[in-house]
């Protein structure tokens, strides 16, 4: 087991990372990789450590591993989603705001190793640092335990958010539905706004989507477009069960 050099780090900091390992149920064989993943360059500079690197290189690797694992998940989870929509959804999942949310969910900021100045000026809550440490952790986990364990981590903490619709705002359900039925060009989709209620500043629209004149989905929304998207989403859920 590769241990962290004793002269390089305070004992309390090592113990905190042990706590994180237990919370994530992922024990590292190479402790130096875990330590490096949470080490900001300000910490390295302040302690003048030659035996420990900052997390910048792991961040580079983790970025690529994230893209791969998320791409694989989306490819398998949405078999009827076209390439353009898969790309948009992946971009929404691996963008900085999403990575910050993931890091906050896992309380990664509490475990960051920062220089005193960076810490005192709010580094633990700085979005760029949180996104970086999440990518660095993924890179470290990949090197220590391989791609399948990274996927297991993602399945436990990240993929459920996608399944429950946390990124549905980037989905174009109308395009998905069109792609789903386009194998048979003879079939026809039609969207119909069946009601419009409420005052001008707070209208509610209801849309039906029909396939060959048969209703297959209904949706509501604050705009006609939103109502149609929700109708398409219902239709897709129905058709995928057939």
- Provide the annotated active-site residues: 63, 135
The rounded distance, in Å, linking the Cα atoms of 207 and 191 is 7
Residue 127 near residue 112 (C-beta atoms within 8 A):
no
> In sequence order, what DSSP letters do the residues of 135-188 get, joined into one string?
HHHHHHHHHHH-HHHHHHHHHHHTHHHHHTTTTGGG--HHHHHHHHHTTSTT--
Token pair listed for 5: 């050099």
The rounded distance, in Å, linking the Cα atoms of 211 and 222 is 24
Residue 94 near residue 70 (C-beta atoms within 8 A):
yes
First to last CA, the chain: 52
């Amino acid at each position: 087991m590769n241990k962290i050099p004793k002269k390089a780090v305070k004992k309390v900091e090592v113990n905190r990372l042990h706590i994180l390992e237990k919370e994530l149920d992922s024990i590292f064989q190479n402790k130096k990789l875990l330590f490096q993943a949470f080490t900001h360059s300000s910490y390295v500079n302040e302690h003048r450590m030659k035996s420990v690197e900052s997390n910048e290189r792991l961040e580079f690797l983790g970025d690529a591993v994230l893209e791969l694992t998320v791409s694989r998940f989306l490819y398998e989870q949405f078999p009827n989603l076209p390439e353009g929509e898969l790309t948009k959804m992946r971009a929404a999942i691996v963008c900085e705001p999403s990575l910050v949310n993931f890091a906050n969910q896992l309380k990664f900021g509490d475990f960051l190793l920062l220089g005193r100045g960076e810490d005192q000026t709010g580094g633990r809550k700085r979005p760029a640092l949180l996104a970086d440490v999440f990518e660095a952790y993924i890179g470290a986990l990949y090197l220590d335990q391989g791609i399948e364990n990274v996927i297991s981590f993602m399945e436990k903490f990240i993929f459920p958010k996608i399944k429950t619709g946390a990124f549905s705002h980037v989905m174009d359900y109308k395009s998905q539905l069109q792609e789903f039925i386009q194998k048979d060009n003879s079939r026809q989709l039609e969207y119909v706004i069946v009601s419009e209620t409420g005052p001008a500043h707070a209208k509610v629209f209801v849309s039906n989507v029909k396939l060959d004149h048969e209703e297959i989905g209904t949706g509501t929304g604050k705009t006609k477009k939103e109502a149609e998207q929700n109708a398409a989403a219902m239709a897709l859920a129905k058709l995928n069960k057939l």
